[in-house]
Amino acid sequence: MERQLDEVAGKLLQQSLEQRGMRFLMGAQTEALLPAASGRVGAVRFKAGTTPEPEVPADLVVMAVGIRPNTALAESAGLRCERGIVVNALNVPSVSAEQLARVVGKLSAKQVYACGPSGFVDAARSLTEGQVRSFMAEGFTPMAPITVADAATATVKVHLTASQRDLEIPTNLSILDALEAQGLKPKVGCRMGVCRTCVCTRTEGTTLDLQTGEQDAQPGIDVRICMTRARTDLTLDL
Ligand code: FES
């Protein structure tokens, strides 16, 4: 998975999967799928010299092809590209109409599909407007959090089961912000309710979803703590 993970992360993934009983034959090149007596696949044969094991028995063979991003347009626009486009680089220039025409050729013959954050879709639309055969897009914007006027003084008790901590947090902050304010470092990603990195299980208590405005008290429910405020004392699997 060299396109998705760097070497260190790839090794960590491999170790984790090996601990679950998987075995890896790195660099092995498949030469043939050998049939069993039943007529279904019975083994995989590898090209000589690519692995110490010439064959492995198999009941099922799953094949996957990798992905290779086409970074030509990004590179021609001066964006930093490594295994893909480096998205957290600062001061990246935008793509000009000339660069676009140079990379994709005759625009008037092209059907354009754009999918991504709405700012990207808008930029792609304005760059190609009136110049392409058709433009189809799917843009997404995280739902904005609702405004909730909670008193700054109200607090609730939170019990964290995994770390065995008991805290008191204010109800006018997201649970994530409140925990971080006390020095905790829960797993976090987008902070916008999109990536679900911050999800944990709420085993007890009532929370308010800052995107839907709904309160929920059902035990054993996963909550995104970046988009959730406490409404009562809570027990969280953190
Ligand atoms: S950090 Fe991404 S959903 Fe909470």
What average pLDDT does the segment 202-222 reach? Answer: 94
Q: What is the pLDDT of residues 179-209, one digit of tens each?
A: 999 999 999 887 888 778 899 999 999 999 9
Point out the ligand 1 atom lying closest to the alpha carbon of residue 226.
4
Overall number of domains in the chain = 3
Domain check: are 124 and 167 in the same one?
A: no
Residues 132 and 175 in one domain: no
Q: Are residues 134 and 87 in the same domain?
A: yes
Distance from residue 139's CA to the centre of ligand 1 (Å): 19
Kindly report, residue by residue over 119-146, the tens digit of the pLDDT: 778 878 888 888 888 888 877 677 778 8
What is the average pLDDT score of the chain?
A: 85
pLDDT band at residue 32 using 50, 70 and 90 as cut-offs: very high
Average pLDDT of the residues in 72-92: 68
d(CA 207, CA 218): 10
Domain that holds residue 136: 72-140
Residue of higher predicted confidence among 20 and 31: 31
112 within a domain of the structure (yes/no): yes
In this prediction the pTM is 0.51
Mean pLDDT, rounded, for 218-222: 93
Give the position, in ligand 1's atom list, of the atom nearest the Cα of 176: 4
Domain-located, residue 63: no
Q: Is 175 found in the same domain as 133?
A: no
Residue 83 in domain = yes
CA of 200 to the centre of ligand 1 (A): 11
Boundary (domain end) residue, out of 99, 115, 140: 140
Residues with CB under 6 A from ligand 1: 188-191, 193-198, 224, 226
Which of the listed residues 140, 192, 202 should we mutate to test ligand 1's pocket, taking the one with most ligand atoms within 8 A of CB?
Answer: 192
- State the Cα–Cα distance between residues 65 and 3, nearest whole angstrom: 12
Q: Which of 8, 9, 55 is nearest to 35 (CA)?
A: 55
- 217 and 160: one domain? yes
Assigned domain for 150 exists? no
Q: DSSP character for 85? A: B
Q: What is the mean pLDDT of residues 142-165?
A: 88
pLDDT reported for residue 141: 72
The reply to whether 65 falls in a domain is: no
Give a yes or no: residue 147 inside a domain: no
Residue 71 has pLDDT above 90, yes or no: no
The pLDDT value recorded for residue 150 is: 82
C-alpha span between 125 and 121 (Å, rounded):
6
Q: What is the pLDDT of residue 92?
A: 52
- What single DSSP character describes residue 23? -
